[in-house]
Amino acid sequence: MARIGFIGLGMMGLPMARNLLRRGNSLLACDSSAAARDALLEGAPAGAVAFAATPAELAAGVELVVLMLPDSKIVSAVMEGEGGLLGALRPGHLVIDMGSSLPGETRRLAPLVAAKGANLADAPVSGGVAKARTGTLAIMFGGDDAAWARAEPVLGCVGEALIRCGSIGAGHAMKALNNFVYGAGLLAAAEAFRMGEKLGLDLNILAEVMNASSGRNVATESKAQAMIQGTYPVGFQIGLMRKDLATAAAIAAETGEPARALTTALELYNQAVDALGPRVDTTEIHRYLGMKK
Protein backbone atom coordinates (compact mmCIF):
# COMPACT_ATOMS: atom_id res chain seq x y z
CA MET A 1 0.00 0.00 0.00
CA ALA A 2 1.19 3.48 -0.84
CA ARG A 3 -0.11 7.02 -0.93
CA ILE A 4 0.01 8.22 -4.52
CA GLY A 5 -0.57 11.70 -5.87
CA PHE A 6 -2.87 11.72 -8.90
CA ILE A 7 -3.59 14.77 -11.06
CA GLY A 8 -6.19 14.50 -13.82
CA LEU A 9 -9.47 12.60 -13.27
CA GLY A 10 -10.77 12.65 -16.84
CA MET A 11 -12.10 9.85 -19.03
CA MET A 12 -8.90 7.84 -18.63
CA GLY A 13 -7.63 9.18 -15.32
CA LEU A 14 -10.74 8.39 -13.28
CA PRO A 15 -10.82 4.63 -14.01
CA MET A 16 -7.05 4.44 -13.57
CA ALA A 17 -7.32 6.14 -10.18
CA ARG A 18 -10.08 3.72 -9.20
CA ASN A 19 -7.84 0.77 -10.07
CA LEU A 20 -5.09 2.17 -7.87
CA LEU A 21 -7.61 2.24 -5.03
CA ARG A 22 -8.75 -1.32 -5.76
CA ARG A 23 -5.17 -2.48 -5.42
CA GLY A 24 -4.97 -1.11 -1.89
CA ASN A 25 -3.34 2.27 -2.50
CA SER A 26 -4.58 5.56 -1.09
CA LEU A 27 -4.75 8.69 -3.20
CA LEU A 28 -4.14 12.38 -2.78
CA ALA A 29 -5.85 13.71 -5.90
CA CYS A 30 -6.11 17.06 -7.64
CA ASP A 31 -8.64 18.02 -10.32
CA SER A 32 -10.46 21.26 -11.09
CA SER A 33 -13.76 19.43 -11.70
CA ALA A 34 -15.98 18.94 -8.66
CA ALA A 35 -17.90 16.27 -10.56
CA ALA A 36 -14.69 14.31 -11.16
CA ARG A 37 -13.73 14.58 -7.51
CA ASP A 38 -17.18 13.36 -6.45
CA ALA A 39 -16.97 10.46 -8.90
CA LEU A 40 -13.67 9.31 -7.39
CA LEU A 41 -15.17 9.32 -3.90
CA GLU A 42 -18.07 7.08 -4.99
CA GLY A 43 -17.35 3.57 -3.79
CA ALA A 44 -13.86 4.46 -2.51
CA PRO A 45 -12.80 2.88 0.80
CA ALA A 46 -13.27 5.19 3.77
CA GLY A 47 -10.27 7.44 4.23
CA ALA A 48 -8.56 6.24 1.03
CA VAL A 49 -9.06 9.48 -0.92
CA ALA A 50 -8.10 13.04 -0.06
CA PHE A 51 -7.85 16.09 -2.29
CA ALA A 52 -5.29 18.84 -2.70
CA ALA A 53 -6.26 22.32 -3.86
CA THR A 54 -3.14 22.79 -6.00
CA PRO A 55 -0.40 20.63 -7.50
CA ALA A 56 2.08 22.20 -5.07
CA GLU A 57 -0.09 21.23 -2.12
CA LEU A 58 -0.32 17.71 -3.50
CA ALA A 59 3.48 17.46 -3.80
CA ALA A 60 3.81 18.33 -0.13
CA GLY A 61 1.85 15.21 0.81
CA VAL A 62 3.29 12.47 -1.44
CA GLU A 63 6.56 11.31 -2.96
CA LEU A 64 5.14 9.84 -6.19
CA VAL A 65 2.89 11.85 -8.50
CA VAL A 66 0.98 10.54 -11.53
CA LEU A 67 -0.12 13.03 -14.20
CA MET A 68 -2.97 12.00 -16.52
CA LEU A 69 -3.51 15.23 -18.43
CA PRO A 70 -4.72 15.99 -21.97
CA ASP A 71 -1.58 17.50 -23.51
CA SER A 72 1.81 19.09 -22.97
CA LYS A 73 0.36 22.59 -22.64
CA ILE A 74 -1.63 21.52 -19.60
CA VAL A 75 1.28 19.50 -18.23
CA SER A 76 3.44 22.61 -18.45
CA ALA A 77 0.80 24.67 -16.62
CA VAL A 78 0.54 22.06 -13.85
CA MET A 79 4.32 21.84 -13.57
CA GLU A 80 5.39 25.46 -14.05
CA GLY A 81 2.32 27.61 -13.40
CA GLU A 82 1.28 29.33 -10.19
CA GLY A 83 0.89 26.70 -7.49
CA GLY A 84 2.57 24.20 -9.78
CA LEU A 85 4.48 21.05 -8.98
CA LEU A 86 7.92 22.26 -9.95
CA GLY A 87 8.25 24.78 -7.15
CA ALA A 88 7.26 22.17 -4.55
CA LEU A 89 9.38 19.23 -5.72
CA ARG A 90 12.07 17.94 -3.38
CA PRO A 91 14.68 15.16 -3.45
CA GLY A 92 13.00 11.79 -3.65
CA HIS A 93 9.99 12.89 -5.68
CA LEU A 94 9.06 10.88 -8.79
CA VAL A 95 6.67 12.42 -11.32
CA ILE A 96 5.19 10.07 -13.95
CA ASP A 97 3.52 11.72 -16.97
CA MET A 98 1.04 9.11 -18.24
CA GLY A 99 -0.68 11.38 -20.77
CA SER A 100 0.19 11.70 -24.46
CA SER A 101 2.64 14.60 -24.24
CA LEU A 102 5.11 15.92 -26.78
CA PRO A 103 8.42 14.04 -26.39
CA GLY A 104 10.40 17.25 -26.81
CA GLU A 105 8.46 18.94 -24.00
CA THR A 106 9.01 15.92 -21.77
CA ARG A 107 12.74 16.11 -22.39
CA ARG A 108 12.66 19.87 -21.67
CA LEU A 109 10.99 19.36 -18.30
CA ALA A 110 13.27 16.51 -17.19
CA PRO A 111 16.33 18.63 -16.24
CA LEU A 112 14.10 21.16 -14.47
CA VAL A 113 12.74 18.34 -12.33
CA ALA A 114 16.24 16.91 -11.83
CA ALA A 115 17.47 20.30 -10.61
CA LYS A 116 15.09 19.83 -7.66
CA GLY A 117 16.64 16.45 -6.85
CA ALA A 118 13.51 14.74 -8.24
CA ASN A 119 12.95 12.44 -11.22
CA LEU A 120 10.59 12.59 -14.21
CA ALA A 121 9.41 9.59 -16.22
CA ASP A 122 6.93 9.24 -19.06
CA ALA A 123 4.49 6.33 -19.23
CA PRO A 124 1.73 6.94 -21.80
CA VAL A 125 -0.97 4.32 -22.16
CA SER A 126 -2.80 2.50 -24.94
CA GLY A 127 -6.08 0.63 -24.78
CA GLY A 128 -8.74 3.28 -24.32
CA VAL A 129 -11.35 3.66 -21.61
CA ALA A 130 -12.34 -0.01 -21.71
CA LYS A 131 -8.88 -1.20 -20.72
CA ALA A 132 -8.45 1.68 -18.29
CA ARG A 133 -11.50 0.32 -16.46
CA THR A 134 -10.18 -3.24 -16.34
CA GLY A 135 -6.61 -2.26 -15.49
CA THR A 136 -5.25 -3.93 -18.62
CA LEU A 137 -3.67 -0.97 -20.42
CA ALA A 138 -0.45 -1.21 -22.40
CA ILE A 139 2.07 1.21 -20.91
CA MET A 140 5.19 2.55 -22.63
CA PHE A 141 7.79 3.67 -20.09
CA GLY A 142 10.59 6.16 -20.64
CA GLY A 143 13.02 6.81 -17.81
CA ASP A 144 16.05 5.57 -15.92
CA ASP A 145 16.43 2.42 -13.81
CA ALA A 146 15.70 4.20 -10.53
CA ALA A 147 12.44 5.62 -11.90
CA TRP A 148 11.44 2.25 -13.31
CA ALA A 149 12.03 0.45 -9.99
CA ARG A 150 9.70 2.85 -8.20
CA ALA A 151 7.14 3.18 -10.99
CA GLU A 152 6.67 -0.49 -11.91
CA PRO A 153 4.49 -1.49 -8.91
CA VAL A 154 2.23 1.52 -9.51
CA LEU A 155 1.99 0.95 -13.26
CA GLY A 156 1.15 -2.69 -12.62
CA CYS A 157 -2.03 -1.56 -10.84
CA VAL A 158 -3.38 0.02 -14.02
CA GLY A 159 -1.67 -1.84 -16.85
CA GLU A 160 -1.06 -5.35 -18.11
CA ALA A 161 1.72 -4.93 -20.69
CA LEU A 162 4.51 -2.75 -19.27
CA ILE A 163 7.16 -1.99 -21.89
CA ARG A 164 10.42 -0.19 -21.17
CA CYS A 165 11.09 2.01 -24.18
CA GLY A 166 14.32 3.81 -23.30
CA SER A 167 15.31 7.15 -21.80
CA ILE A 168 13.01 10.01 -20.87
CA GLY A 169 10.64 10.92 -23.72
CA ALA A 170 10.94 7.53 -25.43
CA GLY A 171 7.57 6.37 -24.12
CA HIS A 172 5.79 9.45 -25.43
CA ALA A 173 7.53 9.12 -28.80
CA MET A 174 6.66 5.45 -29.19
CA LYS A 175 3.03 6.04 -28.18
CA ALA A 176 2.68 8.73 -30.87
CA LEU A 177 4.37 6.64 -33.56
CA ASN A 178 2.26 3.62 -32.66
CA ASN A 179 -0.94 5.64 -32.91
CA PHE A 180 0.17 7.05 -36.27
CA VAL A 181 0.45 3.51 -37.60
CA TYR A 182 -2.95 2.63 -36.13
CA GLY A 183 -4.58 5.77 -37.52
CA ALA A 184 -3.10 5.21 -40.97
CA GLY A 185 -4.25 1.58 -40.91
CA LEU A 186 -7.77 2.63 -39.93
CA LEU A 187 -7.81 5.22 -42.70
CA ALA A 188 -6.69 2.63 -45.26
CA ALA A 189 -9.35 0.17 -44.10
CA ALA A 190 -12.04 2.87 -44.26
CA GLU A 191 -11.07 3.79 -47.81
CA ALA A 192 -11.01 0.12 -48.82
CA PHE A 193 -14.52 -0.41 -47.44
CA ARG A 194 -15.77 2.68 -49.28
CA MET A 195 -14.35 1.39 -52.57
CA GLY A 196 -15.65 -2.10 -51.94
CA GLU A 197 -19.13 -0.75 -51.27
CA LYS A 198 -19.14 1.14 -54.58
CA LEU A 199 -18.10 -2.06 -56.37
CA GLY A 200 -21.01 -3.91 -54.79
CA LEU A 201 -18.74 -6.24 -52.82
CA ASP A 202 -19.89 -8.06 -49.69
CA LEU A 203 -18.05 -6.00 -47.08
CA ASN A 204 -18.18 -8.76 -44.49
CA ILE A 205 -16.35 -11.04 -46.88
CA LEU A 206 -13.90 -8.23 -47.68
CA ALA A 207 -13.17 -7.94 -43.96
CA GLU A 208 -12.75 -11.71 -43.77
CA VAL A 209 -10.29 -11.60 -46.67
CA MET A 210 -8.29 -8.82 -45.02
CA ASN A 211 -8.14 -10.62 -41.69
CA ALA A 212 -7.03 -13.86 -43.32
CA SER A 213 -4.46 -12.10 -45.47
CA SER A 214 -1.73 -9.50 -45.46
CA GLY A 215 -4.11 -6.54 -45.05
CA ARG A 216 -4.90 -7.52 -41.48
CA ASN A 217 -4.42 -4.85 -38.80
CA VAL A 218 -6.09 -3.77 -35.56
CA ALA A 219 -8.65 -1.72 -37.50
CA THR A 220 -9.74 -4.61 -39.73
CA GLU A 221 -9.86 -6.98 -36.76
CA SER A 222 -11.76 -4.84 -34.26
CA LYS A 223 -13.27 -1.88 -36.11
CA ALA A 224 -14.56 -3.39 -39.35
CA GLN A 225 -18.13 -3.97 -38.16
CA ALA A 226 -18.43 -0.44 -36.80
CA MET A 227 -17.61 0.86 -40.28
CA ILE A 228 -19.61 -1.73 -42.25
CA GLN A 229 -22.73 -1.23 -40.13
CA GLY A 230 -22.23 2.51 -39.63
CA THR A 231 -22.64 2.24 -35.85
CA TYR A 232 -19.42 4.01 -34.79
CA PRO A 233 -19.69 3.41 -31.01
CA VAL A 234 -17.73 6.00 -29.06
CA GLY A 235 -14.43 4.64 -27.77
CA PHE A 236 -11.26 6.41 -28.84
CA GLN A 237 -12.27 9.93 -29.79
CA ILE A 238 -11.20 11.22 -33.19
CA GLY A 239 -9.88 14.42 -31.62
CA LEU A 240 -7.43 12.35 -29.59
CA MET A 241 -6.29 10.60 -32.75
CA ARG A 242 -5.69 13.97 -34.36
CA LYS A 243 -3.66 15.04 -31.32
CA ASP A 244 -1.49 11.90 -31.51
CA LEU A 245 -0.93 12.43 -35.22
CA ALA A 246 0.08 16.02 -34.52
CA THR A 247 2.57 14.73 -31.96
CA ALA A 248 3.96 12.33 -34.56
CA ALA A 249 4.20 15.28 -36.98
CA ALA A 250 6.25 17.16 -34.37
CA ILE A 251 8.59 14.15 -34.24
CA ALA A 252 8.83 14.22 -38.04
CA ALA A 253 9.76 17.90 -37.94
CA GLU A 254 12.35 17.28 -35.22
CA THR A 255 13.97 14.43 -37.15
CA GLY A 256 13.69 15.97 -40.62
CA GLU A 257 11.68 13.02 -41.91
CA PRO A 258 9.24 14.02 -44.72
CA ALA A 259 6.64 11.53 -43.39
CA ARG A 260 4.35 11.82 -46.42
CA ALA A 261 1.86 9.18 -45.26
CA LEU A 262 1.63 10.92 -41.89
CA THR A 263 1.04 14.28 -43.58
CA THR A 264 -1.83 12.84 -45.62
CA ALA A 265 -3.38 11.08 -42.62
CA LEU A 266 -3.17 14.19 -40.44
CA GLU A 267 -4.77 16.32 -43.16
CA LEU A 268 -7.75 13.94 -43.46
CA TYR A 269 -8.23 13.57 -39.70
CA ASN A 270 -8.06 17.36 -39.33
CA GLN A 271 -10.81 17.70 -41.93
CA ALA A 272 -12.90 15.00 -40.24
CA VAL A 273 -12.61 16.69 -36.83
CA ASP A 274 -13.61 20.02 -38.38
CA ALA A 275 -16.66 18.38 -39.98
CA LEU A 276 -17.76 16.02 -37.20
CA GLY A 277 -16.33 17.47 -34.01
CA PRO A 278 -13.58 16.02 -31.81
CA ARG A 279 -15.67 13.73 -29.57
CA VAL A 280 -17.00 11.19 -32.09
CA ASP A 281 -15.29 7.82 -32.41
CA THR A 282 -12.19 7.51 -34.56
CA THR A 283 -14.02 5.04 -36.84
CA GLU A 284 -16.12 7.98 -38.03
CA ILE A 285 -13.27 8.76 -40.40
CA HIS A 286 -15.15 6.18 -42.51
CA ARG A 287 -18.34 8.28 -42.38
CA TYR A 288 -16.37 11.41 -43.21
CA LEU A 289 -14.91 9.78 -46.31
CA GLY A 290 -18.49 9.09 -47.46
CA MET A 291 -19.35 12.78 -46.99
CA LYS A 292 -16.23 14.12 -48.72
CA LYS A 293 -16.63 15.01 -52.39
Q: Is the pLDDT of residue 155 over 80?
A: yes
For 263-275, letters b (16+ CB in 10 Å) and e give eebbebbebbbee
CATH topology classification for 3-167? Rossmann fold (3.40.50)
Confidence of residue 2 (pLDDT cuts 50, 70, 90): confident
Q: Which of 116, 131, 175, 223 is catalytic?
A: 175
* Pair 170, 178: CB distance under 8 Å: no
Q: Is the pLDDT of residue 269 over 80?
A: yes
Domain boundary assignment for the chain: 3-167, 174-291
Q: Verify whether residue 131 is a known catalytic residue.
A: no
pLDDT, tens only, 227-260? 999 999 888 899 999 999 999 999 999 999 999 9
As a whole number of angstroms, the longest Cα–Cα distance in the chain is 65
Confidence of residue 293 (pLDDT cuts 50, 70, 90): low
Question: Which of 224, 219, 222 has the alpha carbon at shortest distance from 206?
Answer: 224
Q: What percent of the chain has pLDDT over 70?
A: 99
**Which of these CATH numbers, 2.40.50.430, 1.10.1040.10, 3.40.50.970, 3.30.390.10, describes 174-291?**
1.10.1040.10
